[in-house]
Structure 1
Amino acid sequence: MMMSVRFEDDFLVAGTGRDRVTPNFTLGEYQAPDGSVRMHREILAAVQMLRDALDRPVSIASVRAADGLGSGKRGQFVWIESGEPTEVVAAARALLKDGTLARVEVRGARVYLEMPDPAALPALIPANALERAIQVTAAFETSGNPYHQVTGNFDGAGLSFGPIQVNFGTGTLPVLFKRFEMRSPTGLKRAFGPLWDEWQTVMKQSRTRQIAWADALSRGRGKADFDPAWKAALQAIGDTPAFREEMLAYAYDVYGRKLIAALAWLHGACPIDIGNFRCLAALYDLCVQQGSLVKAYDAIRARIASEHPQDEFALTRIAVEERGKTAGTRWRADCISRRLCILEREPVRVDEAGQRATRTNPRLYLLRNAPVKDMAKYLL
């Protein structure tokens, strides 16, 4: 998202027509006939998520009320076109179910999409929240479909795959694939096809030999790409619903528990409940990149005593800033900037230890400003 884009009370109100407001849509597509723009973040998110689900182009047909729909709700609805309307409605059902959309109607070739009341956005269920958080974190490192990310041995990890970039270097890739094989052995074998026997052999090798095998198949500049046949097989696995479910379960087990530990410690240090998805997503990103808050315990306590945070956003900001300051000198500004980018849902410039960073993220639209239902209870 371009820094010239401006939001007021979660409504997009300014920017240039060329600015991207989500990966596949520009501000200009949402402008009214008079050139003005006023669209809520949630309806922008809904259109992008629907486009992702359809996996085909979606056209913004109108942002004006029509056919008895949208009156008095400027910025909370949109008319779209994307081929057969019944297919659009079918794809929109999941968005209705999770509260991203409140209403979907067909009028001829056009489909009307309306978001929930902006003053009472529905809470996210934990599984949906964690999947969104995973996608946001993945978008800092990779682009495109996070389940299609296949990275070669540019960083010494051998082969990295998927939205949480499991890899041979940390041993996380074999663990995840063994879990999926136990769940769906025929599905995994079918996806690998003629490569299955070789994959089985690699899975039984030592970590050093696994990395060497992946290094030989790494391609492109700096070995960041991977052999096309193996890449296609892994992407086919990434498209498998059962694999995505297992990957989420694995993320719960690995990073979810780290998140709960961080939340429990913060609550002990300052009795403010943290439940807003933006705060949880920022702390999840911290847990993925830095593991825990442990190295910053003393600094966090000191700032809490000095600043007396009054809400979960202030407390989360203290936590991510102080933990970021314990990273290597080169990466401190980067760590803090990406966490604050999530928290504020916009690029935040950070100057720290002689370094400057202004991180942005193409999936900020996923960060609903709403609570998550029983997050701690779900992950424990």
Structure 2
Amino acid sequence: MVGSVQIENDFIIGGGANARVTPNFRLKEFYRSNRRVRVHRELAAALQILRENLAASIKIDPRRPATVEKPADDGLYVVIGADDPEHLHQAAIKLLRQGYFSRCEPLDDQLYVEMPDPAKLPQISPKTAFDCGMKVTAAFETSGDPYQQVTGNFDKAGLSFGPIQCNLKTGTLQELFRYFRGEDESRLQRCFADPQDYLAFWKVLDGSRSKAVAWADDLSLGSGKHGFAQPWKGYLQAVGREPVFRQVMLRYAYDKYGKLLMSALAFLHGVSQVKIRNLRCLAALYDMGVQQGSLKKAYTAIKRRVAREQPEDEFALTRIAVEERAKKASPRWRADCLSRRLCILERQPVSVTLNGQRARRSNRSSYLLRDSGVKGLDRYLAG
């Protein structure tokens, strides 16, 4: 959520009329007749997810429902409408089953939805948590649909693609496409309009990394080389639109970074009795793994701080871990690393200055970071 929105005890209570509460909702859409607003951030997040699942606009009715028996406390419910009320109801019921709503009742052509008790939000599944974490990290790296992101050689990585920006320099893009080919090569080949281009692309992937980066550099566009030439960009975006390959990307992200998360949790469990189960803490550690790799470089510093400070909750423990790991990054990127992690933990932009560098990272997908625990995490990570 943007910084111009005023939040008090997790309730959105004010800000600029056009400030974005979530990517698709502005503050003024929650205004009552007196232009006052009070809505819990978790309810606003659930509405955004509903909007995305519905793939259609949702209209908010700020009036208190007269026909609903025992409505929730102020700010914990909302009345909504859409062009297709039945489709809206069906989409809301799915979120009800997932714990985003605790009540969902039709009101003629509108819908009354209510969120769970903020102090007792239901736990979410590890799969949902991992998907949320990946989307939040992708939002730092890309814009738009993360699965269709194609980035040129602005960072000397050659060509980067997808929600975790697999690239030619590290070999992760080559590895990802081998996963795709193993899953369904005929479907992969259909994403390339010209069969000869498909063969040429594999020649690049199967060659040396340095030659692959040079190939991508020649095709990178713009003064900063962020863009990438057609038809290659279109081919990759076609791959990103395929549901089967989206699932492969999720599995690949888990194989690549889920193990780093598991390693980080095991280490932190060894130095503290505090268990880390909150989605925000897990997402911060996942983001650290994607950007910086493992915690190993900071093991000694983390042990010392934990022994000295004796953190009493998972947020304090996670903060120690990400702060000390950020300090081990290249001096140029330390502030950026820490600002990203704190943005996830706090669900809002956090300014950080380290080694003379200042960073204030924001994340358009922070609404996904529910203040919920994750159930069955150990079994999920163990495979």
The corresponding residue for 2:315 is 313
Structure 1 partner of 2:364: 362
In the other structure, the counterpart of 1:177 is 177
Which range moved further: 238-247 or 284-293? Answer: 238-247
Deviation by residue 1:220-254 (Cα, 9 ceiling, x = unmatched): 23111122432233222222221121111111111
The structural deviation recorded for 1:70 is: 7.1
Alignment check: 8 A CA contact 1:59 1:80 kept: yes
Shift of the 233–82 alpha-carbon distance from structure 1 to 2, 3 Å rule, reads farther
Q: Structure 2 vs 1, CA of residues 356 and 82 (structure 1 numbering), >3 Å: closer, same or farther? A: same
- In structure 2, give the amino acid aligned to 1:250: Y
One-letter identity of the residue aligned with 2:77: F
Quote the offset at 1:196 in angstroms.
2.9
The residue type equivalent to 1:294 in the other structure is K
Which of 211, 217, 220 is the equivalent residue of 1:218? 220
Q: Is residue 373 of structure 1 aligned with residue 369 of structure 2?
A: no
Structure 1 residues 363-372 or 241-250, which shifts more? 241-250
Give the AA of the match of 2:320: I
Superposed CA deviations along residues 139-186 of structure 1, whole A, max 9, x for unmatched, are 112222211211111112121111111111111112112112211222
CA distance in 2, matches of 1:292, 1:319: 11
**Aligned pair in 2 of structure 1 residues 219, 104: CA closer, same or farther (>3 Å)?**
farther
CA shift at 1:256, angstroms? 0.6
The answer for the alignment partner of 2:10 in structure 1 is 10
Query: 1:136 matched to which residue of 2?
Result: 136
Asked if the contact 1:153–1:218 (Cα under 8 Å) also holds between the matched residues in 2, the reply is yes
| Letter of the 1:111 counterpart | L
Q: What's the counterpart of residue 158 of structure 2? A: 158
Counterpart mapping for 1:223-242 below 5 A: 223-242=225-244
How far apart are residue 273 of structure 1 and its match? 0.6
Contact 1:136–1:366 (CA under 8 A) maintained in structure 2 = yes
User: After superposition, where does 1:22-33 map in structure 2 within 5 Å?
Assistant: 22-33=22-33
In 2: Cα distance, 1:69 partner to 1:191 partner? 53
TM-score by length of 1: 0.94
Distance 1:144 1:369 in 2: 25
Relative to structure 1, the CA distance from residue 58 to residue 191 in structure 2 (aligned partners, 3 Å threshold; closer, same or farther) is: farther
Q: Which moved more, 1:363-372 or 1:28-37?
A: 28-37
| Deviation of the 1:94 alpha carbon | 4.0
Does residue 112 of the first structure (1) align with residue 106 of the second (2)? Answer: no
CA deviations 1:330-349 (Å, max 9, x no partner) are 22122111111111111222
Query: CA 1:42/1:261 → structure 2, altered by over 3 Å: closer, same or farther?
Result: same
| Amino acid across the alignment from 2:276 | I
Which residue of 328, 348, 360 corresponds with 2:330? Answer: 328
Q: Give the fraction of aligned pairs with identical amino acids, expressed as a percent.
A: 52
CA contact (8 A) 2:174 2:206 kept: no
Contact between 1:30 and 1:63, CA under 8 Å: does it hold in 2? Answer: no
TM-score by length of 2: 0.93
Which amino acid in the other structure matches residue 257 of structure 1? K
> How do residues 279-294 of structure 1 correspond to structure 2 at under 5 angstroms?
279-294=281-296
Tell me whether 298-307 or 193-202 shows the greater mean CA deviation. Answer: 193-202
The alpha-carbon deviation at position 11 of structure 1 amounts to: 1.6
Contact 1:32 1:64 survives alignment (8 Å): no
Tell me which of 341, 348, 354 is aligned to 1:352: 354
**Which of 162-171 and 177-186 deviates more?**
177-186
Pair 1:80 & 2:75 matched: no
2:141, 2:165 within 8 Å by CA — same for their partners in 1?
Answer: no
Q: Give 1:287 shift.
A: 0.8
Q: Which residue of structure 2 lines up, in the alignment, with residue 67 of structure 1?
A: 67
Q: Is the 8 A contact 1:63 1:75 kept in 2?
A: no
Distance 1:255 1:27 in 2: 36
Q: Distance in 2 between matches of 1:339 and 1:119?
A: 24
2:203 alignment partner AA:
T
Tell me if the contact between 1:64 and 1:70 (Cα under 8 Å) persists in the aligned partners.
no
Runs (4+) of structure 1 moved beyond 6 Å? none
CA distance in 2, matches of 1:102, 1:108: 20
Paired residues in the alignment total: 380
Are the aligned partners of 1:54 and 1:91 in contact in 2 as well (CA < 8 Å)?
yes
